[in-house]
Amino acid sequence: MLKEWRQVRRRSQLDLALDAEISARHLSFIETGRARPSREMVLRLAEQLDMPLRERNLLLLAAGFAPVFPERGYEDPALGPVRAMVERVLAGHAPFPAVAIDRHWTLLAANAAVGPLLAGCDAVLLKPPVNVLRLSLHERGLAPRIANLPEWRAHLLLRLRRQVAETADPVLSALLEELISYPSPSSDRRAGEEAGIAVPFQLATEAGVLSFLSTTMVFGTPRDILLSELAVEAFLPADDFTLVALGGR
């Protein structure tokens, strides 16, 4: 596993050994199983490779040590301060929409601006657990109202493909296959001038077509697996019409 992650991160054996302050020979012995690393060495190498906390636990198990990073559900009482922090971030982004999602794109929380944008979506898709990619691209979800659906669909599928390539997560792989099976929209694109710097999310509403640019926020130095995989997807107005329509001015 260590060798595979080194290759994924495009780190040579010598570079990793220097950064971990060990010899390349000793690192080679660790990778081939000829030397048994200490718990501290496993964590040091994982840190240098910037491995996700979930993978660090697996690496520890492979080396014969107990996992050190806890994995708790979002509603776990111990994560009360985390939920309060997420809610503050989401509320602070109002009047513009923002959601918190986990590694499988499951909706964990949303601010008040999100609800009105989901008008007309099938109740089945809104029944927890809600997957935001499925909700976005399903024909009974937001897809019929996304003005630039071909472009936005391609953008989301590209992000998901990258996740699958990096993690080999079977849940994400199944989700990708499901989304690809949805009817493919025509190639006609209706992107605004912002498309040159970012892919906008353009949604038809009763007020008109709202255009957003999305940003992703993750939490620094997490010690819990869920927090390390939690992301806040915030949407900012991409034009003055959207800004005014949502009361941002």
Q: Model pTM? A: 0.85
Q: Is residue 72 part of a domain?
A: no
Q: Is residue 71 part of a domain?
A: no
> pLDDT-derived band of residue 127, with 50, 70 and 90 as boundaries?
very high
Same-domain pairing of 203 and 100: yes
What pLDDT sits at residue 4?
78
pLDDT for 44 beyond 80? yes
Task: Give the helix ranges, DSSP H, for the chain.
Answer: 2-8, 13-20, 24-32, 39-48, 53-62, 80-93, 114-117, 132-137, 149-167, 170-181, 225-229, 240-245
Q: Which residue has the higher pLDDT, 242 or 167?
A: 242
What pLDDT sits at residue 187?
60
Q: Is residue 68 part of a domain?
A: no
pLDDT for 249 beyond 80? no
Same-domain pairing of 13 and 56: yes
CATH number at residue 44: 1.10.260.40
Same-domain pairing of 208 and 163: yes
Q: Is residue 126 part of a domain?
A: yes
- Its domain, for residue 152, covers 77-245
What pLDDT sits at residue 2?
82
Same-domain pairing of 133 and 234: yes
**What is the average pLDDT across 69-89?**
94
pLDDT for 17 beyond 80? yes
Among residues of the chain, what percentage have pLDDT more than 70? Answer: 95
Q: Of 37, 62, 87, at which residue does a domain stop?
A: 62
What does the mean pLDDT of the chain come to?
A: 91
Q: Which of 56-60, 82-86, 182-186 has the lowest mean pLDDT?
A: 182-186
Same-domain pairing of 215 and 97: yes
> pLDDT-derived band of residue 13, with 50, 70 and 90 as boundaries?
confident
Q: Is residue 42 part of a domain?
A: yes
Amino acid at 173: S
Amino acid at 35: A
What pLDDT sits at residue 198?
81
**Which residues are paired to 211 by β-bridges?**
202
pLDDT for 193 beyond 50? no
Q: Of 10, 38, 62, at which residue does a domain stop?
A: 62
Domain count, the chain: 2
Q: Which of 32-36, 64-68, 112-116 has the lowest mean pLDDT?
A: 32-36
37: preceding bond cis by omega (within 30 degrees): no
Same-domain pairing of 83 and 55: no
> pLDDT-derived band of residue 188, with 50, 70 and 90 as boundaries?
very low
What pLDDT sits at residue 116?
95
pLDDT for 5 beyond 70? yes
Same-domain pairing of 191 and 241: yes
Q: Which residue has the higher pLDDT, 168 or 75?
A: 75
**What is the average pLDDT across 44-55?**
92
CA dist 217 and 181 (Å) reads: 29
**What is the average pLDDT across 128-132?**
97
Same-domain pairing of 116 and 51: no
CATH number at residue 205: 3.30.450.180
Q: Is residue 173 part of a domain?
A: yes
Same-domain pairing of 98 and 211: yes
> pLDDT-derived band of residue 194, with 50, 70 and 90 as boundaries?
very low
Side-chain-side CA neighbours of residue 151 (13 Å): 17
Same-domain pairing of 97 and 47: no
Same-domain pairing of 164 and 89: yes
Same-domain pairing of 164 and 50: no
